[in-house]
Amino acid sequence: MRKQSSGYLSRRESRAGILFVIPTMILLLVFSIAPIAGTLGISFSNYSLGVPMKFAGLENYRSVLGDSDFRTALMTTLKLGFGLALPGTLLAFLIAISINAGQKTNIFTSIFFAPVIYPPVVSAFIWSAAYRGDGFLNRILGTNIEWLTSYKWALFSIVLVMLWTNLGFYIVISLTGLRGISNTYYEAASIDGANRWEQLRWITIPLIKPVLLFIGIVATGDALQVFTQPYLLTAGGPGSSTRVLASLIYESSFRSLDFGASSTMAMVLLALALLISTIQFAFLRPKE
Amino acid sequence: MTLLKLKNPAGKGVVAGKFPIINYLALSFLALVFTIPIIWSIKAAFLRNGDIFAKEIFDFTGPWTTDNFVVGLKTVPFFTFFLNSMIVAGVTTIVILVTSLTAGYGFACFNFRWKKTLFALVIASLLMPFQSIMIPLFIGARQLHLIDSKLGIILPATVSAFGIFMMRQFLASLPRELMDAAYIDGCGYFMAFRKIVVPIARAPMATLAAISFLGNWNNYLWPLIVAQSEKVYTLPIGLTMFRGNEGSTNYGYIFAASFFAGVPALLVFLFMRRSIIQSYALTGINL
C-alpha cells in the first residue's frame, strides 16, 4: 500500500484506485451483497411468487425453528458434518504423512485431489451405479447392501461419496501443515536419540493438531453447503433421512415456492457458515 | 503401521527408509482405490449397457462399442448442452479475469476512501453460501426476463470474490518500486496496468482461469434454477436427462455423456494441477 505523498498526487491516485475498483464492486454489490440483504428482508415477510410481499416479523423464524422438517435437515447436516470431519481428518493426516515420507509426492497428491475438481453431477452418477445392488461396491465387498435405499446405510453412503470427493483437499491442507514444521525440531530430536515413533508422538502430532482441527472445521463447512450429490443420489430419501439443509432450502424455494420460509432457513445456514468461517480465521491468525 | 512415517528432514532416505516399499505400495493401493470410480465410468462409456454391471471391475476384455457415443448422445440435444457449457464456462472465466485483475490492482496499489470497507465486503462475499443469495437472484432474474437464458446463468458468475482476493494478494506482494518506477517513467495508471500488471500477473491469472472454468463448468445449482428448456441446459443439467425411471436408465449413454463432462475438467486439472492445488492449500477454501 502506498503512502500518501502530495495532495495532488494522492487525489489523482485515489481517483484512479476507485476507477479500477468500481466496476467490479458494482457487480459484487448487485450479485452478492444486495441479494444477502434481499434474503434477510424476505426472511421477515410472507412471500411467494405472484403474491405481494407482506411483512411478517419473526413469524418465519418461529415456524422454521419449530418445524420438524427443518430440525431433521439440520440434524442430518450436522451428522454428515461430523461423519465427514472425523474420518476425513484422520485419513488426510495418515495419507499426508505417507505421501510426505515417500517419493512421487506430486503424483500421489494429484491423484487424491482429482475428485475435488471432478464434476459433482458425474460423480453422483458414478456412485449411483456403484451403489446399485449389482454395482461394483457390493461386488468388491461381496455384500448385498441396499446402500441408498435403506435407512441404515443411506447417510453413510452419502458420507462416503463426500469423503471421496473432498479427501484430496484435506490431504493438501495436511501436507501444507506438515511442511510447515521446522526441520530443526526433528534434527534436535534425532541428536537426542528419539526414534521415529517418538518424533511423531512428541513433535508432529502436537504441532499438527491445530491444522487437523482446521480440517475438521473445513469439513463441517463442506457438509453445510453440499447439495448436488445428496440431491441426485437419494433426493433426500429414504424418508427424509438424507435431506440436508441445502436440499431443503432448494426444495422449499423452487418446489413449494415458499420464499419467506426458505429465506429464513437460508439465513440460519448463513449464520452457521459464518460461525464456521470465524473459527477458521481464528485458527489461521496466530500462526506465522 | 506402515503409514505412520515421517518425512525425515535431515536425510529422507535414512529415517523414511525402513519400509519405503511397503509405504509406497500402501499409498499406490489407496490411490488405485481412489481412481476406480473414474476409470470404471470411462470403461462403462465403451461397454454395452447390459455388460456394464455384468463385468468385474478389472475385466478390460470388452467387447467394446462406440454405440453409446454414436447412438446414445443423439437421444438428447447433447451437442447443445456441451456448447452451452463451453459458452457459460468460457465467458464467465474471461469476465472474471478482467473484473478480478482490475479490482485487485485497485485494492493492492492505491489508497482511497472506503477501501477497507469495500475489501471487507469482498471477504464477506467469499464466505457466503450460495443458498443465502439464490432466492433474490432468482427473483431479480425473473423480473429482468433472464430466466431460461444463458445470460441469466452467466451474469451472477461474472464477479468472483475469490478472484479479487487472489489478485489483490498477488499484486500486493510485488515490490512497490516496480510500480513507482513505471509512474516515474511517465506511465499513467492505465498504461501501467496494461504494460506491467497484466504481463506480470500472467501466472496467477492462468490459475484463476483454471479454477473459474472448473467451477462454472461443474456448477449445478444455479443452472438448475435458471435453465428451464433444453436449449439453455448446460452439460450437468442435460446429463440428468439420461436418467430414466427405475431400471430403464441406460448407464452406457450416461457415461458416454459424462465422459465429455469429466474429461475436460480432468484436462484442465492436468495442465494446471500444481497451481490449482497450491491455491486450495493456501486459502483453505473449498471452492
- Chain A: closest CA distance from residue B44 (Å): 10
B10·A169 Cβ contact <8 A: no
Task: Judge whether residue A194 has pLDDT over 50.
Answer: yes
Q: Shortest CA distance to B168 belongs to which of B98, B121, B212, B109?
A: B109
Instruction: Please indicate, yes or no, if residue A117 is contained in any of the structural domains.
Output: yes
Domain membership flag for residue A2: no
- Contact state of A32 with B125 under an 8 Å Cβ cutoff: yes
From the list B8, B128, B235, the residue facing A32 with the nearest CB is: B128
| SS3 assignment for chain A | CCCCCCHHHHHHHHHHHHHHHHHHHHHHHHHHHHHHHHHHHHHCEEEECCEEEEECCCHHHHHHHHCHHHHHHHHHHHHHHHHHHHHHHHHHHHHHHHHHHCCCHHHHHHHHHHHHHCCHHHHHHHHHHHCCCCCHHHHHHCCCCCCCCCCCCHHHHHHHHHHHHHHHHHHHHHHHHHHCCCHHHHHHHHHCCCCHHHHHHHHHHHHHHHHHHHHHHHHHHHHHHCCHHHHHHCCCCCCCCCCCHHHHHHHHHHCCCEHHHHHHHHHHHHHHHHHHHHHHHHHHCCCC
**Ordered DSSP codes for B137-178:** HHHHHHHTT-TTSHHHHHGGGS--HHHHHHHHHHHHTS-HHH
pLDDT tens, position by position, A195-216:
888 888 899 999 999 899 999 9
User: Taking CA A263 as the corner, what is the angle to CA A259 and CA A266, rounded to the nearest 5 degrees?
Assistant: 140
Determine the length of chain B. 287
**Domain limits for position B234:** 72-283
- Whether A35 and chain B come into contact, CB under 8 Å, resolves to yes
Alpha carbon distance B146, B139 (integer Å) = 10
The answer to the question of residue A93 being in a domain is yes
Q: Is A186 in Cβ contact with B27 (below 8 Å)?
A: no
Judge whether A35 and B133 are in contact, CB under 8 Å.
yes
Question: Does residue A16 sit in the same domain as residue A70?
Answer: no
Domain identity same for A94 and A198? yes
Question: Grid coordinates in use for B222?
Answer: 444455479
More confident residue, A14 or A165: A165
- Beta bridge partner(s), residue A46: A54
- Closest residue, chain B, to A257 (C-alpha): B135
A73 in the same domain as A16: no
Is the residue at B19 inside a domain?
no
Residue A140 within a domain: yes
Report the range of poorest mean pLDDT among A154-168, A259-273, B239-253: B239-253
Could you write out the DSSP letters of every residue in B194-263?
A: IIIIHHHTHHHHHHHHHHHHHHHHH--HHHHHH--STTT--HHHHHGGG--STTT--HHHHHHHHHHHHH
B149-187 in b/e burial notation, b at 16+ Cβ within 10 A?
bbebbbbbbbbbbbbbbbbbebbeeeeeeebeebbeeeb
Q: Is residue B49 part of a domain?
A: no
**pLDDT beyond 80 at A84:** yes
Residue B100, in any domain of the structure: yes
Residue whose cell numbers read 450436522: A78
Question: Considering the domain boundaries, does residue A1 fall inside one?
Answer: no
**In whole angstroms, what is the distance from residue A43 CA to residue A175 CA?**
42
Q: A residues 102-121 near B, CB within 8 Å?
A: 102-104, 106, 108-121
Q: What is the spatial distance between Cα A204 and Cα A185, in angstroms, rounded to a whole number?
A: 9
Q: Give a yes or no: residue A264 inside a domain.
A: yes
Q: How far is CA B23 from the centre of its chain?
A: 31
Number of domains observed in the structure of chain A? 2
The residue in chain B having the minimum alpha-carbon distance to the alpha carbon of residue A92 is B3
Contact A36 B269 (CB under 8 A): no
pLDDT tens for each residue of A90-131: 999 999 999 988 877 889 999 999 999 999 999 999 999 999
Q: Which of B15, B102, B113 sits opposite A20 (nearest CB)?
A: B102
Helix A154-179 to helix A68-101 angle (10° resolution) is: 40
A207 located within any domain: yes
C-beta separation of A91 from A163 below 8 A? yes
Tens-place pLDDT, residues A33-47: 999 999 999 999 998
Q: Do A79 and A57 share a structural domain?
A: no
Interface confidence, given as ipTM, is: 0.91
Q: What is the pLDDT of residue A62?
A: 95
Determine, yes or no, domain membership for B44. no
DSSP-based helix, strand, coil % in chain B, nearest 5: 70, 0, 30
Interface of A with B in 158-217 (CB under 8 A): 164, 166-167, 169, 172-173, 175-176, 178, 183, 186-187, 190, 196-197, 199-200, 204, 214
Q: What is the CATH number of the domain that holds B235?
A: 1.10.3720.10
> Which residues constitute the domain of residue A37?
7-61
d(CA A80, CA A86): 10
Q: Alpha-carbon distance B154 to B230, whole Å?
A: 17
Of A36, A121, A280, the CB nearest to B239: A121
Kindly identify which residue of chain B lies nearest to residue A108, measuring between CA atoms.
B31
Residues A41 and A77 in one domain: no
User: How far apart are alpha carbons A177 and A272 in whole angstroms?
Assistant: 26
Task: Kindly state whether residues A35 and A166 are assigned to the same domain.
Answer: no
Query: Mean pLDDT across chain A, nearest whole number?
Result: 90
CATH of the domain at A259: 1.10.3720.10
Q: Under a CB-based contact definition with an 8 Å cutoff, are residues B68 and B46 in contact?
A: yes
- Which residues of B are less than 8 Å from A109 in CB distance? 277
Percent residues over pLDDT 90 in chain A? 69
Per-residue pLDDT of chain B in tens (287 residues, 90 and over written 9): 333 334 444 334 334 446 778 888 999 999 999 999 999 999 999 999 888 888 888 888 878 999 999 988 888 999 999 999 999 999 999 999 999 999 999 999 999 989 999 999 999 998 899 999 999 999 999 999 999 999 999 999 999 999 999 999 999 998 888 888 888 888 888 888 998 999 999 999 999 999 999 999 999 999 999 999 999 999 999 999 888 766 678 899 999 999 999 999 999 999 999 999 999 988 877 77
In-domain check, residue A227: yes
Contact map slice: A 52-91 vs B, CB within 8 A: none
pLDDT of residue B18: 60
| C-alpha grid cell, residue A103 | 517419493
At residue B137, the pLDDT reads 97
What integer pLDDT is reported at residue A277 of this predicted model? 87
Give pLDDT, residue A285: 60
Number of domains in chain B: 1
Flag if A129 and B266 touch (Cβ within 8 Å).
no
Query: Residue A9 has what pLDDT?
Result: 57
Residue B159 backbone dihedrals phi, psi, to 5 degrees: -125, 135
At B9 the pLDDT is 42
